[in-house]
Every structure is written in structure tokens, then in C-alpha cells.
């Protein structure tokens, strides 16, 4: 029987959703049974033997829907193999360095520590000027002071997903 894997995400404008879809594609190509869905669509984790959970970062915090999901399902997630990713920092270079050396925001770190995920990673994000509102543009320019644009590293995403697939197949 194939392992049933959930790749779930919290995404406001779609960039994190696209990362989750790429991870799901890599897991499928490895022969795993995968469902990719927004955290808002998930009501029960029982059917899944493992979970890959991702959230967009907004001004240094996990997107609200991602926080709500991880808080609601903390105990169930702690009982399964879990991999966690965040996406968000824009700019050149190591994404962890771009967020002051923290691979997870403080608001989610304590919960994640109790879940004991197999791996945690941070991917570059995409800040699309055509999608964000005036307040978000102001915050990006003046508070977090990050450049606009798509900085996602698809090779890095595929490599991480391949590593997750390898762990799931063992």
C-alpha cells in the first residue's frame, strides 16, 4: 500500500501554494500517494501517514491560517512524521540570513519544537507588486526593507522535496 502524504500550505497570494504544488509533484514522481491542499481545506489528518506543512511569512510571522492550523493540529502532527517549510524572504543570498538567522519565526517556534519535525527549511519567496495592497507595499519597503520580485529557488525546493521523498520511502 502506498503511503498517503499530505502537503498542506497557508498562502495569501499563491507563491507558497506553488511551492507546495512543486513539493507534491516531486513526491508523486517518487511514487508516493500525495494530496496537496490549503490548510483551510483540511478537517482531519487521520487519513495521512505523514505531513508536509508550509506557510508564507508576512512581516516576520507565519500567515494567520498557517498559525491556526498548526495550533489546532499540534497533537496530531506530533504523532506523525512532519516536515515544515516557510517561504517569504526576498533578496539574494541565504534565506535564513535574510531573516536574521532564524529559520522559523518566534510565534511558531515553540509549537514546532513540540511537534519534532523531521526537517525545517526556509525558502525564498515572491513579493509580487501587482498582487499586494498599499499597506503591504509600505511594510515591505519601510519595515522589512526587502526587494520586490520572485526569488524562489526551484532547484533548492526540488532538492528538499527529493530528500523528503527519500525519507518517506525508507
pTM over 0.75: yes
Q: Which of 149, 129, 168, 128 is nearest to 23 (CA)?
A: 168
Those residues with Cβ within 8 angstroms of residue 139's Cβ, 6 or more apart along the chain or in another chain: 59
Is residue 142 over pLDDT 90? no
Mean pLDDT of the chain: 89
Least confident piece of the model among 19-33, 79-93, 97-111, 145-159: 97-111
Highest mean pLDDT among 90-99, 137-146, 157-166: 157-166
What local confidence, expressed as pLDDT, does residue 63 receive?
93
Q: How far apart are the first and last CA of the chain?
A: 14
* CATH topology for the 4-162 domain: Rossmann fold (3.40.50)
Q: Grid coordinates in use for 104? A: 522559523
The mean pLDDT value for 121-132 works out to 83
Residue 8 DSSP class: E
The mean pLDDT value for 120-136 works out to 82
From CA 28, how far away is CA 104, in angstroms rounded?
27
Q: Name the pairing type of β-strands 4-10 and 50-58.
A: parallel
Amino acid at each position: 500500500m502506498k503511503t498517503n502524504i499530505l502537503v498542506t500550505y497557508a498562502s495569501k497570494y499563491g507563491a507558497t501554494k506553488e511551492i507546495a504544488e512543486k513539493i507534491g509533484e516531486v513526491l508523486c514522481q517518487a511514487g508516493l500517494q500525495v494530496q496537496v491542499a490549503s490548510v483551510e481545506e483540511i478537517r482531519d489528518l487521520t487519513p495521512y501517514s505523514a505531513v508536509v506543512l508550509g506557510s508564507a511569512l508576512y512581516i516576520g510571522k507565519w500567515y494567520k491560517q498557517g498559525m491556526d492550523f498548526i495550533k489546532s493540529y499540534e497533537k496530531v502532527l506530533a504523532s506523525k512524521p512532519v516536515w515544515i517549510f516557510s517561504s517569504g524572504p526576498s533578496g539574494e543570498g541565504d534565506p535564513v540570513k535574510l531573516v536574521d538567522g532564524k529559520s522559523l519565526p518566534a510565534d511558531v517556534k515553540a509549537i514546532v519544537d513540540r511537534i519534532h519535525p523531521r526537517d525545517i527549511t526556509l525558502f525564498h519567496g515572491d513579493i509580487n507588486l501587482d498582487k499586494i495592497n498599499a499597506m503591504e507595499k509600505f511594510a515591505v519597503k519601510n519595515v522589512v526593507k526587502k526587494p520586490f520580485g520572485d526569488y524562489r529557488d526551484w532547484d533548492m525546493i526540488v532538492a528538499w522535496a527529493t530528500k523528503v521523498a527519500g525519507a518517506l520511502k525508507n
